[in-house]
Amino acid sequence: MTPPTVAVVGGGISGLVAAYRLRRSLGAAARIVVLERSSRLGGKLRTVPLAGDPVDVGAEAFIARRPEVVALVEELGLSANIVHPSAARPLLYADARLHPLPAGTLMGIPASAQAVEGLVDDETLARIAAESTVPFHWDRDSDVSVADLVRSRFGEQVVQRSVDPLLGGVYSGLSDTAGVRATVPTLAAALDAGATSLSDAVARALPPKSDAPVFGTLREGYGVLIQALVREADAEFLYGTAASGLKRSGGRWSVDPLGEVDGVVLAVPAPDAARLLSDSVRSAAQCAAQIPLASSVVVALALPHDAGLPQNSGILVATGEELSAKAFTLSSRKWPHLAERPVALARASFGRFGDDALVDASEADLIALARADLATVTGVDAEPVAAFVQRWHGGLPQYREHHGEIVAAFEAEIAGIDGLEVAGAMLHGVGVPACVATGTAAAARLTARMEG
């Protein structure tokens, strides 16, 4: 029997995990080819040298309470690299002042007025306190944006000062472009179960308190994970090669410019998936086309060690503030292993869905904006020792209203097509664990079909 040939389109974390899993399941004789349109692998995970040491300029953490990344890292023999954040707490910049990040909220949505006391005005606090007495209707068969739900019950200040900063940090979007069911599923579940108000639903959905670390990262950056996956996948990597066509050809698939293969895993952003599927699976392409992307920029700064960064892990920025940045990570305060370095590290993030003009600003302008905004919120205006600008064009999919329904329809169409699987952040979560999960699942399904 001739060993199979499989094409993995996209060399981000989802595609690399799929390639690695396929190698493990299909064996050494299988031909696995990864097509990557850029000149490097890793997708939105990128580790670069800054002031002589590795720094992540894409995703910089994973949710440690999900098992996928921890298990993968252990499987690859990298467990000693896992580190967890310090006890430093984040801040929120709103109304031109710094505030502690509210506790007792779900993605910034408070369960009580006490949670956002000091962050919003007295009128808003009174509205939150009385919310449970106001008639409430939730449609179990529909979906709304997080902004519409929160604004209607708690008012605009809660949206701009508490919810938007947190959602912006996760999705590079705003609560206006975030569907409740896809972005706050535990809240939707509480509402579906009969919560009598938004306050009641948040209280039901809040996770139990735990001393276990919420986040983790890798001591030397995500680059070590990418390198290990590349090594263990033992695949052919075609750099600077975008798949320009995908067609069903008899019992096989034809992938331009690679040629005929036995199976395909698409691990690309939604617009690329829509383009590639437009000829062979038009109904699936139409679903993928409904998932837009947001662009963003990360500016990593290496400052003098004595620059005086606050003893906090980061600063989220409310919408409507006179700043260009949407968030700062005070990396040397957040991560103990980075605090050991001879420089103080910080990251500024720019760009939200629908407001990404800064993505194409010059590096000099972006570094100047990062320094100016950092000085405004912290008073730190030290000259950087080094800086790195990373632009993420189309970095994150937006999980808008009815996203789950769109993905379910998309996956149903793909499920009926032999030899084709899809993975990536467009499906079931934008975090690294979710992407690892989709890559693993796609490889398992494709293997089962090819061996069935």
pLDDT in tens, 59-111: 999 998 899 999 999 999 999 999 999 999 999 999 999 999 998 899 999 99
Dist CA 344 CA 171 (whole Å): 26
Dist CA 38 CA 35 (whole Å): 9
> Going by DSSP bridges, is the β-strand pair 236-239/31-36 parallel, antiparallel, or unpaired?
parallel
- Rounded to the nearest angstrom, the gap between the alpha carbon of residue 294 and the centroid of all alpha carbons in its chain is 11
Nearest residue to 163 via CA among 152, 153, 150, 172? 150
What is the mean predicted confidence (pLDDT) over 406-425? Answer: 96
Three-state SS for 3? coil
What is the mean predicted confidence (pLDDT) over 341-345? Answer: 98
CB atoms inside a 10 Å sphere around CB 74: 12
Reported as a single tens digit per residue, the pLDDT across 278-320 is 999 999 999 999 999 999 999 999 999 999 999 999 999 999 9
The helix (run of H) or strand (run of E) holding residue 367 is: helix 363-378
User: What is the pLDDT, as a whole number, of residue 452?
Assistant: 67
Dist CA 277 CA 290 (whole Å): 14
> CA separation (Å) from 330 to 88, 194, 217, 306, 440?
10, 40, 15, 14, 33
Q: Check whether 235 has a pLDDT greater than 70.
A: yes
Structural contact between residues 142 and 135, judged by C-beta atoms closer than 8 angstroms: no
What is the mean predicted confidence (pLDDT) over 176-194? Answer: 95
**Structure tokens of 68?**
């996928």
Structural contact between residues 96 and 105, judged by C-beta atoms closer than 8 angstroms: no
Dist CA 54 CA 74 (whole Å): 21
Confidence of residue 358 (pLDDT cuts 50, 70, 90): confident
User: What is the pLDDT, as a whole number, of residue 277?
Assistant: 97
Q: Check whether 428 has a pLDDT greater than 70.
A: yes
CB atoms inside a 10 Å sphere around CB 365: 12
Confidence of residue 40 (pLDDT cuts 50, 70, 90): very high
Q: Check whether 32 has a pLDDT greater than 90.
A: yes
Structural contact between residues 179 and 144, judged by C-beta atoms closer than 8 angstroms: yes
Sequence-separated contacts (24+) of 111-120 with Cβ below 8 Å: 111/199, 111/202, 111/203, 111/206, 112/199, 112/203, 116/158, 116/161, 116/162, 119/92, 119/94, 119/157, 119/161, 119/162, 120/155, 120/157, 120/158, 120/161, 120/162
Reported as a single tens digit per residue, the pLDDT across 190-223 is 999 999 999 999 999 998 888 888 899 999 999 9
Q: What is the DSSP letter of 355?
A: B
Structural contact between residues 303 and 15, judged by C-beta atoms closer than 8 angstroms: no
Radius of gyration of the chain (CA): 23
Q: Tell me the angle at which helices 432-451 and 68-75 cross, rounded to the nearest 10 degrees.
A: 70
Dist CA 416 CA 444 (whole Å): 16
Sorted by sequence, the CB contacts under 8 Å of residue 79 that are 6+ apart come out as 73
> CA separation (Å) from 130 to 195, 263, 387?
15, 57, 48
Residue ranges and CATH numbers for the domains of the chain are 5-39+239-291+400-451 (3.50.50.60), 46-65+77-101+207-220+293-397 (3.90.660.20), 105-205 (1.10.3110.10)
> Going by DSSP bridges, is the β-strand pair 91-94/236-239 parallel, antiparallel, or unpaired?
unpaired
Confidence of residue 247 (pLDDT cuts 50, 70, 90): very high
Structural contact between residues 432 and 13, judged by C-beta atoms closer than 8 angstroms: yes
Please provide the average confidence, as pLDDT, over all residues in the chain.
Answer: 95
Sorted by sequence, the CB contacts under 8 Å of residue 120 that are 6+ apart come out as 128, 155, 157, 158, 161, 162
Reported as a single tens digit per residue, the pLDDT across 43-61 is 999 999 999 999 999 999 9
User: What is the pLDDT, as a whole number, of residue 120?
Assistant: 96
> Left if phi > 0, otherwise alpha if psi is -120 to 50, otherwise beta: which for 172?
left
> Would the CA dihedral through 445, 412, 256, 419 be positive or negative?
positive
User: What is the pLDDT, as a whole number, of residue 352?
Assistant: 82
Structural contact between residues 134 and 153, judged by C-beta atoms closer than 8 angstroms: yes
Q: What are phi and psi of 108, to 5 degrees?
A: 85, -5
Q: What is the DSSP letter of 208?
A: P
> Left if phi > 0, otherwise alpha if psi is -120 to 50, otherwise beta: which for 402?
left
> Would the CA dihedral through 35, 36, 39, 42 be positive or negative?
negative
Structural contact between residues 159 and 94, judged by C-beta atoms closer than 8 angstroms: no
Dist CA 96 CA 136 (whole Å): 33
